[in-house]
Amino acid sequence: MSKKSIDDLIKEQSKGQQVDGYSSNQVIDLLKQSLNIHWQQCAALTAQAVHLDRWGYKKLAVVIKEDAEEEHEHAAENIKRLEFFDVDYQPLVVNVPVWTRHDMVAMINYNLNSVREAAAVERATITAARLVGDEMTAHLMIPLLEGSENGIRLYESYLKLIEQMGLENFLTLQV
């Protein structure tokens, strides 16, 4: 029985872990889309938190600010993975967030549509990554998808509350 050097063992393990087509342009493109969506959400939610706080809706401002911080973390996760693949993700293309100032329902609908878009891209990324054997990217996207689905539930619940109790009563609870 011959002794193998540590270097030989590492080389063997590396070869065993290599997967042809470990990533794909589709996975990279989806990671870039996810990054852009999360940066856009971060910008929009940060602005909304400031507006809500100024309008006196302190409770809602805290929730939205926490959501903005989570979006920043999600953007960072996308950047880490893109850096792992050593691909250029510049320039970032972030759409200008648009919602009507002082229109709470429009703002909530904007946020709901944004997290739905993020969830769709995250699901697509998980699927595409698994198709090429990139379980690490799929695994990375699962918590992001969970965050987006939590956002969907949150904003849908806000809209349901507004429908059931009226906008004025909803806003009274947010002070």
Q: How far apart are CA 46 and CA 61, in angstroms?
A: 9
Are 113 and 60 in contact, with CB atoms under 8 Å apart? no
* % the chain with pLDDT above 90: 75
pTM reported for the whole predicted model? 0.83
Q: Residue 102 gets which letter from DSSP?
A: T
* Phi, psi torsion values for 49, nearest 5 degrees: -60, -40
| Residue 48: both structure tokens together | 């909304």
**Residue the block writes with tokens 């042809």:** 20
* pLDDT tens, residue by residue, 68-124: 999 999 999 999 999 999 998 887 777 777 778 889 999 999 999 999 999 999 999
| Residue 117: both structure tokens together | 């878009």
